[in-house]
Structure 1
Amino acid sequence: MKTLRNRSCLVACLLLCGCSPLMKGSLDTFKATVHNVEPLQVTAADVAKVPFAQIKVTTPSSEGVMAKLRQLGDLQFWVASGKQVLLMRDGLVVRSIGLQPSLDGTRFDGESPFKRGLQHVVDGETSTRWIDMYEGEQVGLMVNSRFIRKGLETVTIVDQRYVAQRIDEEFEIPALGFKATNRYWVRPDDGLVLQSRQYLTPELELKIVHLRPDWETSR
């Protein structure tokens, strides 16, 4: 676990050294602490200036852009200049650093539906995973999920329109008495998650928009 933390911090430092002033300005909005944050306007020209795949991440109190600086197998490292890091597998955030309260780890019981591709989930399919939360050192919290296939919807990302299959994940964390719904919009042909709304912890929901889906390898 300590090695992973050190590796993530190293990646963050690389981005700080290499990103453009424009990108730094966008990423620094993660430092905002006020509610009702002003929407971050990102243009196609802004995205094109940075030679990395990028996501726009919105929290209840801040918004910023993160760049994918490294990938180890299916584990992606998305980093902001403020040293916030999201580790993602197949569109699901499995760990976070610098966004409080932090998600410290995720493990699935059996095959991950995200690994298989959400475009393949059957309506009503269930899954179980365990998460660790850094705050309060809560380890091994069971998350029970049920996936619901919704219809095709059109999403607009940096002036480009995409037809996406919406998949809802109704889930509960029995130990905390918490229930909510994550939502994913995926490309029907390869399952790439174009955008999502997902809870890292009961207190922190993220909206994640993939600004450069054409840079991602199809499943």
Structure 2
Amino acid sequence: MRNLSLLLICLLLQGCTQTQKGLGETVKLALLGPDDVQVSDEQVENLPYASMYLRLNDGQRIFVVLGFDENGQQKWITRDKAMVVTQHGRLVKTLGLATNLTDVSNLQQDPLGNPLHLTEGASWTRLISWTEQGQFHAAAAVSHFTRTDDEVLTLAGKRVACRVWQEEVELTADGKSWTNTFWVDTTNGQIRQSIQRPGGNAFTIETTILKPAKS
């Protein structure tokens, strides 16, 4: 487990080396920098934390770092202390947003748990719960996966060959539906990019992993 706050405290101590000072500026950028940020490949490489770009509902792009990596889940911290939690690249919880995903059941059966062995038409059923304007909602959701054309992404200066999968999601109670898209690294199965909706009438969340968490 990596504690970002501890790193920040250490960097503020007197007697920091020039390298530490440079690292401190990078961490400051990650937490306090402007939206729609462009982080250099060197900054991504030098920061000793996993990092990604995050965009909410076609808004401005921000840069976030991994706060905690525990129990198979990655907890990404935004500069205003909101949190996005992922598991195998899938959104499983959010905190501090206008609409928040609170729980996803049956994650052990999620086809994204082994994405290099995903097959056309693979399906998955789970219960999702979320809040909208303080109101709690829950519904059963069914997904079906379809593979589209492969793509090569350029991430932090590196070309990453990806399989692209679309996930058609439908809520069984009212028939609402949407499409999630995942870019799967062909070498290790990591989800390097995604466009997802937490559920219901929620907005989209786009993620682009610049530096993956170490397994």
What TM-score, normalized to structure 1? 0.79
More helix by share: 1
Taking a change above 3 Å as real, the CA distance of residues 203 and 12 of structure 1, as seen in their structure-2 partners, is farther
Correspondent of 1:45 among 42, 45, 68: 42
After the TM superposition, which residues 1-16 of structure 1 pair with which residues of structure 2 at under 5 Å, given as runs?
none
**C-alpha RMSD over aligned residues:** 2.4
2:211 counterpart letter in structure 1: R
2:80 counterpart letter in structure 1: G
Deviation readout 1:54-105 (Å, 9 max, x if unpaired): 1111112232122123222212211123111111111101001122211111
Q: Which residue of 2 aligns with 1:24?
A: 28
1:16 Cα deviation (Å)? Answer: 6.3
8 Å Cα contact 1:54-1:211 kept in structure 2: yes
8 Å Cα contact 2:111-2:122 kept in structure 1: no
Taking a change above 3 Å as real, the CA distance of residues 163 and 109 of structure 1, as seen in their structure-2 partners, is closer
Q: SS at the partner of 1:189?
A: coil
Q: Which stretch shows the higher mean deviation, 77-86 or 179-188?
A: 77-86
Taking a change above 3 Å as real, the CA distance of residues 192 and 109 of structure 1, as seen in their structure-2 partners, is closer
After the TM superposition, which residues 125-136 of structure 1 pair with which residues of structure 2 at under 5 Å, given as runs?
125-135=122-132, 136=134
1:48 counterpart letter in structure 2: E
Q: Distance in 2 between matches of 1:28 and 1:95?
A: 23
List runs of 5+ in structure 2 lacking aligned partners. 12-22
1:172 Cα deviation (Å)? Answer: 1.4
List runs of 5+ in structure 1 lacking aligned partners. 1-10, 33-38
2:29 counterpart letter in structure 1: G
Q: Distance in 1 between matches of 2:25 and 2:33?
A: 13
8 Å Cα contact 2:32-2:79 kept in structure 1: yes
Q: SS at the partner of 1:204?
A: coil
Correspondent of 1:96 among 87, 91, 94: 94
What TM-score, normalized to structure 2? 0.80
Taking a change above 3 Å as real, the CA distance of residues 101 and 28 of structure 1, as seen in their structure-2 partners, is farther
Q: Identity over aligned residues, as a percent?
A: 24
Taking a change above 3 Å as real, the CA distance of residues 110 and 91 of structure 1, as seen in their structure-2 partners, is closer
Aligned residues: 198
Q: Distance in 2 between matches of 1:15 and 1:131?
A: 34
After the TM superposition, which residues 129-144 of structure 1 pair with which residues of structure 2 at under 5 Å, given as runs?
129-135=126-132, 136-144=134-142
1:107 counterpart letter in structure 2: S
8 Å Cα contact 1:12-1:79 kept in structure 2: no
Taking a change above 3 Å as real, the CA distance of residues 176 and 157 of structure 1, as seen in their structure-2 partners, is farther
8 Å Cα contact 1:196-1:209 kept in structure 2: yes
Taking a change above 3 Å as real, the CA distance of residues 155 and 105 of structure 1, as seen in their structure-2 partners, is same
Q: SS at the partner of 1:200?
A: coil
